[in-house]
């Protein structure tokens, strides 16, 4: 029970005891008054009847005496009247049955009043003529007492109700600073440090409020310092400070990730020789400005947010185009050359730009060394043949070309004919407790398997990811309802779907209809959505949370942006980018991992590392602030139990 309820309850009990005491005293006083009044009326009545009967009794006029008794007692609240004549021993008896309809029977059965009986000798001088006896009936007293009781009860109930309301209001106002403290402490417990408590009117709580505000500010400052430290460490290792792009280490890490995931797409190396001349002829400041200008223009050439642009060395840039089609890769290469012409100030794009671009299109698994060798050969080809816009090398392996529209039709066919195969990859804690299981999709047709990387890029470029995401969500909900899935399931959402208002409306209705199982749904959103599309992402996250589902950040830490967005969105978990979870033998890499993970943990956010392949990797990750692990080793470990 809350302090507010305890105070109101006890104050109400004390108030009720006080009111009940007053009520009992008032009730008892009324009862005593009515009893005394009844006794007084009996005395008055017997005196009156004696004086009225005396003249008739002297004359022995029995008829007149009866008339007097009838006149005095008919319709009165007396139960019996008896007149005994001494000279003849005759009796005149009158019995008056009285019923009180306005008083409940249970109340009259309480016997709150005694029956009063009075007798008196009627005399004439020294001569005793008769004896009169009057017996009262308590019905009238019960009626009066009942009326008084109902009035008292009504008044007391009104007073008690008003008293409880006033007590509640007064206590609530008195405890309002305490309620603010409770809310603030809950926010602090959830690692939300925004806003200060207002100074209370209650002087006793000023020191408490000031202490909480100071503590919250210090914790918030500590988090900001930790976040900035993590960002600085990440930037120091992976960011080129002049261009604002990833450096060679970042390029190599992302290249390894791409080759491990799909290896389909393109790689390009762009050697800009004229930048060296600017450094030599105009100095470092001019050279840095030229690098920054070229970097900003090259960003415009990227066909999607998934493309990775880095500065490999002083005058060389590296590109990774995951899952891009060959024709689109050539268009991107043409754009790189065209935008570089703008740097040279040649609107006709005919003057040589003194730069070489080597492009490789790949569709088969290769090592990092192999793909970089091909990129170097393409770069050499471009340098050896100035008449070519760029050097180009395509994968020599046999491959089936399929355009974007063909991929879309293929996906639609797979949805209609149920050709999708869904696999679930577990994410567990170090002790084996399941956090969730991530959904991976593939299409199986004619004994051939097509992974998601092959068709999702085409859907993204055509802005057709919404039907696919809806299909996956519907399928998972159906399996949860059918109890095929009993643990939380993580579903990746495409950036295009997040930007689509119709998808948000559909998800709202879907979660509303399936609110009972919404807690088993985790939605993974790319970090780029939180940074570049904040408004749409905030709307979607509010919808997810409002119905009891959860969301997390995928590829956490990949973008060289502030990690402050975590404080705004408060995801349930973050899935660390592979950039931070590989090469853990490097002490510097481990330190960055621990710092990035701690930034999330300081906000109560679960950290997940994917692609865990062996026990040694799991142990190292566990030692450096990672909470949950996902990958081949985890699945095999669970199967082996």
* Domain-embedded: residue 181: no
Average pLDDT over residues 253-260: 86
Q: Are 124 and 154 within one domain? A: yes
- pLDDT tens string 567-577: 888 899 999 98
For 105, counting Cβ atoms within 10 Å of its Cβ (0-12 exposed, 13-18 middle, 19+ buried), the class is exposed
* Domain-embedded: residue 330: yes
Residues 6+ positions from 355 with CB-CB distance below 8 Å: 270, 271, 272, 273, 274, 337, 340
- pLDDT tens string 90-112: 888 877 776 666 788 787 777 78
Q: Are 340 and 477 within one domain? A: no
Number of domains in the chain: 3
Q: Are 474 and 357 within one domain? A: no
Q: Are 324 and 410 within one domain? A: no
Q: Are 483 and 338 within one domain? A: no
User: d(Cα 79, Cα 71) in Å, to the nearest integer?
Assistant: 15
- pLDDT tens string 264-292: 889 999 998 888 888 888 888 888 888 89
* Domain-embedded: residue 211: no
Residue 509 has a pLDDT of: 95
Q: How many CB atoms lie within 10 A of CB 23?
A: 18
DSSP state of 519: G
Query: Which of 104, 139, 162 is the last residue before a domain boundary?
Result: 162
Q: Could you tell me what percent of the chain has a pLDDT over 70?
A: 89
Query: Residue 637 — pLDDT band, cuts 50, 70, 90?
Result: low
Q: Are 385 and 533 within one domain? A: no
Q: What is the CATH number of the domain that holds 485?
A: 3.20.20.450
Query: Residue 237 — pLDDT band, cuts 50, 70, 90?
Result: confident
Q: What is the CATH number of the domain that holds 33?
A: 3.30.450
User: d(Cα 86, Cα 65) in Å, to the nearest integer?
Assistant: 14
* Domain-embedded: residue 210: no
Residue 519 has a pLDDT of: 94
**Cα R_g (the chain), whole angstroms:** 47
Average pLDDT over residues 120-137: 80
Query: Which of 162, 184, 219 is the last residue before a domain boundary?
Result: 162
Q: Is the pLDDT assigned to residue 234 strictly greater than 70?
A: yes
User: d(Cα 325, Cα 154) in Å, to the nearest integer?
Assistant: 85
Average pLDDT over residues 309-317: 90
Q: Are 418 and 285 within one domain? A: no
Query: Residue 402 — pLDDT band, cuts 50, 70, 90?
Result: low
For residue 423, the cross-strand partners are 440
Residue 537 has a pLDDT of: 94
* Domain-embedded: residue 182: no
Residue 515 has a pLDDT of: 93
Q: Are 490 and 358 within one domain? A: no
Tell me if 401 sits within 8 A of 326, measured CB to CB.
yes
User: Which residue segment(s) compose the domain that 446 sits in?
Assistant: 404-640
User: d(Cα 6, Cα 10) in Å, to the nearest integer?
Assistant: 6
* Domain-embedded: residue 565: yes
Residue 397 has a pLDDT of: 52
Query: Residue 485 — pLDDT band, cuts 50, 70, 90?
Result: very high
Q: How many CB atoms lie within 10 A of CB 210?
A: 13
Average pLDDT over residues 572-585: 85
For residue 428, the cross-strand partners are 434, 629
Q: Could you tell me what percent of the chain has a pLDDT over 90?
A: 23
Average pLDDT over residues 438-449: 89
* Domain-embedded: residue 399: no
Q: Are 364 and 499 within one domain? A: no
Query: Residue 398 — pLDDT band, cuts 50, 70, 90?
Result: very low
Query: Which of 352, 375, 394 is the last residue before a domain boundary?
Result: 394
* Domain-embedded: residue 183: no
Q: Are 370 and 472 within one domain? A: no
Q: Are 260 and 149 within one domain? A: no
Q: Are 361 and 445 within one domain? A: no
């Amino acid at each position: 029970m809350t302090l507010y309820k305890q105070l109101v309850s006890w104050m109400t009990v004390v108030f009720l005891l006080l009111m009940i005491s007053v009520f009992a005293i008032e009730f008892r006083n009324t009862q005593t008054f009515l009893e005394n009044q009844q006794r007084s009326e009996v005395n008055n009545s017997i005196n009156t009847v004696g004086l009225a009967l005396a003249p008739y009794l002297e004359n022995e006029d029995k008829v007149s005496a009866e008339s007097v008794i009838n006149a005095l007692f008919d319709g009165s609240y007396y139960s019996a009247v008896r007149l005994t004549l001494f000279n003849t021993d005759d009796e005149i008896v009158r019995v008056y049955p009285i019923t009180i309809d306005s008083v409940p029977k249970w109340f009259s059965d309480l016997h709150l009043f005694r029956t009063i009986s009075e007798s008196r000798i009627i005399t004439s001088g020294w001569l005793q003529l008769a004896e009169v006896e009057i017996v009262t009936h308590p019905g009238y007293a019960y009626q009066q007492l009942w009326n008084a009781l109902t009035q008292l009860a009504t008044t007391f109930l009104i007073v008690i109700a008003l008293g409880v309301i006033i007590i509640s209001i007064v206590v609530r106002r008195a405890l309002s600073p305490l309620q603010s403290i409770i809310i603030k402490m809950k926010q602090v417990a959830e690692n939300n440090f925004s806003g200060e408590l207002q100074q209370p009117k209650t002087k006793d709580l000023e020191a408490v409020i000031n202490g909480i505000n100071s503590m919250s500010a210090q914790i918030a400052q500590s988090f900001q310092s930790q976040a900035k430290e993590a960002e600085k460490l990440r930037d120091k290792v992976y960011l080129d400070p002049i261009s604002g792009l990833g450096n060679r280490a970042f390029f190599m890490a992302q290249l390894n990730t791409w080759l491990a995931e799909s290896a389909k797409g393109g790689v390009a190396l762009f050697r800009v020789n004229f930048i060296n001349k600017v450094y030599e002829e105009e100095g470092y400041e001019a050279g840095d400005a030229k690098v920054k200008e070229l970097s900003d223009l090259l960003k415009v050439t990227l066909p999607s947010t998934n493309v990775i642009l880095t500065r490999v060395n002083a005058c060389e840039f590296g590109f990774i185009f995951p899952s891009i089609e060959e024709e689109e890769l050539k268009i991107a290469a043409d754009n790189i050359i065209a935008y570089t012409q703008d740097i040279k100030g040649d609107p006709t794009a005919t003057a040589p730009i003194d730069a070489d671009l080597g492009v490789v299109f790949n569709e088969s698994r290769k090592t990092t060394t192999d793909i970089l060798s091909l990129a170097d050969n393409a770069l050499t080809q471009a340098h050896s043949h100035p008449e070519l816009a760029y050097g180009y090398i395509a994968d020599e392996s046999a491959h089936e070309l399929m355009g974007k529209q063909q991929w879309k039709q293929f996906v639609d066919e797979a949805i209609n004919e149920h050709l999708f195969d869904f696999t679930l990859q577990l994410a567990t804690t170090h002790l084996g407790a399941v956090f969730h299981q991530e959904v991976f999709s593939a299409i199986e047709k004619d004994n051939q398997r097509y992974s998601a990387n092959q068709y999702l890029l085409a859907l993204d470029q055509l802005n057709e990811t919404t039907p696919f995401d809806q299909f996956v969500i519907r399928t998972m909900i159906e399996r949860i309802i059918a109890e095929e899935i009993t643990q939380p399931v993580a579903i990746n959402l495409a950036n295009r779907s997040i930007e689509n208002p119709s998808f948000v409306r559909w998800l709202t209705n879907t979660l509303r209809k399936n609110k009972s199982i919404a807690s088993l749904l985790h939605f993974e959103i790319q970090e780029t959505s939180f940074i570049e599309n904040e408004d749409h992402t905030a709307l979607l996250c509010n919808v997810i949370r409002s119905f009891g589902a959860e969301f997390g950040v995928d590829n956490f830490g990949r973008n060289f942006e502030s990690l402050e967005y975590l404080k705004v969105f408060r995801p349930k978990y973050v899935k660390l980018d592979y950039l931070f979870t590989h090469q853990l033998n490097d002490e510097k890499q481990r330190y960055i991992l621990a710092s990035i993970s701690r930034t999330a943990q300081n906000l109560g956010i679960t950290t997940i590392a994917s692609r865990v392949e062996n026990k040694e990797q799991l142990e190292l990750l566990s030692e450096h602030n990672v909470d949950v692990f996902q990958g081949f080793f985890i699945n095999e470990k669970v199967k082996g139990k």
